[in-house]
């Protein structure tokens, strides 16, 4: 789960901003606070913990707290060390939380500030049984809703948080197996040699620029509880809605949903965070003020600390589908880029079918425009109907310009 979109709100709350202008939001006063995001699971893996600082309205995002000492201890005296990575602290070895153990987090920043969590135990392991796909209409838009189903016969799970990772296959619609390139070589025009003239040539384009894969992670807080029901069963809880006009599902699509079984305290923390970020709450007069998690400062009891140390059982499920599986006989969504075709004449002929003094022996005219586009990388070849070159913007002929050309290891 990423806190980034909620840190801006928390900075506003902490600063107690009174905003009267509709634009140019700025922080008049600012109270810095540390932010600790830690979810340790029963999955055998290198666990991760994020440590950062709140940020001002006019800043780009949270500041990673580098140089910290981060470790965990359980009630048997086992210690789990974390080392600094790319904006995250990662455990030095793979491990998993186990039932009936109590875990506690310790963080010491580079300037000596110490933070400690309460002792937490692993929640009830509960598996995701299945993911569902249902065609629904929301706000007048038809799309597919992806739901989660799970059941805990012991009735002790009750509180759930969800994240997802979605991957789409993308095919460049106007791909050509060749690239146009410029070759420096002299040309003869009307008996005169022009040194250094750029001739248009071709080279093979990598085949893996035609089909790509784009992966995105959820960035919303998705929560549900079964406390109001007779049994601890989640039925088709909606985690994702995708319109049938969204290119995300235009070809083949996969989503992996993970649920975390939460404690009541963890659920309350995330629910409060979600409510604070709700529509209109940022600038409404009903500001809830600062709220505490389960992490405190050991050096300054009055210091405000944002975040929660959670030990949660996790379960994941993945599904695949093609667009026509869900929406048969429905037009495919449009490619996310404007793939207008641009025609360029590489040679301009006069009345006597001889090259003009400028094209192609010079740098002006239509031939010069085409060479300029190739030189700047603004256009890629789609079709060659010499002397006409039909060109498109790069994302339309090379999907690796905005997505990965590496096939994901899980792809089916």
pLDDT in tens, 128-174: 999 999 999 999 999 999 999 999 999 999 999 999 999 999 999 99
Distance from CA of residue 382 to its chain's centroid? 30
pLDDT band per the 50, 70, 90 thresholds, residue 356: very low
The answer to whether the pTM exceeds 0.85 is: no
Question: Are the C-beta atoms of residues 257 and 239 closer than 8 Å to each other?
Answer: yes
Structure tokens at 140: 């007048």
Model pLDDT, residue 347: 66
Question: Are the C-beta atoms of residues 359 and 367 closer than 8 Å to each other?
Answer: yes
Model pLDDT, residue 352: 29
Residue 372: what are its φ and ψ, rounded to 5°? -65, -40
What is the tens place of the pLDDT at every residue in 166-202? 999 999 999 999 999 888 755 555 455 555 456 788 9
pLDDT band per the 50, 70, 90 thresholds, residue 240: very high
Higher pLDDT, residue 359 or 218: 218
Model pLDDT, residue 63: 86
What is the tens place of the pLDDT at every residue in 264-306? 999 999 999 898 875 433 333 334 456 679 999 999 988 999 9
Supply the mean pLDDT for the chain: 85
200-213 burial, b at 16+ Cβ within 10 Å, e below that, comes to: beeeebeeebbbbb
Distance CA 246, CA 250 (A): 7
What is the tens place of the pLDDT at every residue in 45-54? 999 999 998 8
The Cα-based distances of 257 to 7, 117, 308 in angstroms read: 24, 28, 22
Provide DSSP, 141-209.
EEEEEEEEEEE-TTS---EEEEEEEEEEEEE-TT--SEEEEEEE--EEETTEEETT-EEEEEEEPPGGG
Question: Are the C-beta atoms of residues 324 and 48 closer than 8 Å to each other?
Answer: no
Q: Is the previous residue joined to 20 through a cis bond, with omega within 30 degrees of 0?
A: no
What is the tens place of the pLDDT at every residue in 76-121? 999 999 999 999 999 999 999 999 999 999 999 999 999 999 999 9
Closest CA to 216 of 252, 187, 248: 248
Model pLDDT, residue 22: 40
User: How many CA atoms, within 13 angstroms, populate the side-chain half-sphere of residue 160?
Assistant: 32
Model pLDDT, residue 363: 45
């Amino acid at each position: 789960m990423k806190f980034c979109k909620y840190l801006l709100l928390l900075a506003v709350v902490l600063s107690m901003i009174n905003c009267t202008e509709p634009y140019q939001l700025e922080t008049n006063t600012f109270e810095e606070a540390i932010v600790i995001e830690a979810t340790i699971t029963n999955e055998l893996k290198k666990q991760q913990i994020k440590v950062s600082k709140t940020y001002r309205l006019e800043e780009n995002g949270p500041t990673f707290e580098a140089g910290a000492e981060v470790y965990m201890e359980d009630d048997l005296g086992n210690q789990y060390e974390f080392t600094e990575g790319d904006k995250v602290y990662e455990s030095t070895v793979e491990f998993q939380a186990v039932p009936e153990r109590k875990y506690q987090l310790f963080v010491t920043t580079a300037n000596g500030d110490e933070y400690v969590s309460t002792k937490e135990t692993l929640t009830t392991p509960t598996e995701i049984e299945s993911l569902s796909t249902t065609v629904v209409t929301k706000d007048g838009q038809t799309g597919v809703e992806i739901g989660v189903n799970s059941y805990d016969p012991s009735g002790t799970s009750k509180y759930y948080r969800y994240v997802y990772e979605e991957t789409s296959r993308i095919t460049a619609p106007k791909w050509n197996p060749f690239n146009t390139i410029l070759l420096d070589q002299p040309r003869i025009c009307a008996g005169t040699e022009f040194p250094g003239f750029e001739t248009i040539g071709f080279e093979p384009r990598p085949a893996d620029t035609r089909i790509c894969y784009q992966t995105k992670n959820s960035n919303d807080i998705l929560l549900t509880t079964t406390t109001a029901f007779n049994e601890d069963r989640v039925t088709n809880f909606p985690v994702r809605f995708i319109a049938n006009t969204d290119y995300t599902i235009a070809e083949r699509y996969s989503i992996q949903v993970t649920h975390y079984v939460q404690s009541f305290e963890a659920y309350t923390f995330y629910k409060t965070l979600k409510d604070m970020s709700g529509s209109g709450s940022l600038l409404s007069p009903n500001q809830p003020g600062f709220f505490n998690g389960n992490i405190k400062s050991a050096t300054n009891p009055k210091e405000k600390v944002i975040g929660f140390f959670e030990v949660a059982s996790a379960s994941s499920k993945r599904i695949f589908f093609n667009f026509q599986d869900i929406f048969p006989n429905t037009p495919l969504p449009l490619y996310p880029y404007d793939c207008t075709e641009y025609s360029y004449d590489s040679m301009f002929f006069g009345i006597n079918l001889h090259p003009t003094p400028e094209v192609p022996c010079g740098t002006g005219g239509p031939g010069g425009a085409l060479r300029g586009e190739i030189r700047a990388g603004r256009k890629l070849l789609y079709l060659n109907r010499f002397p006409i070159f039909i060109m498109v913007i790069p994302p339309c002929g090379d999907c690796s310009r905005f997505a990965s050309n590496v096939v994901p290891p899980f792809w089916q």
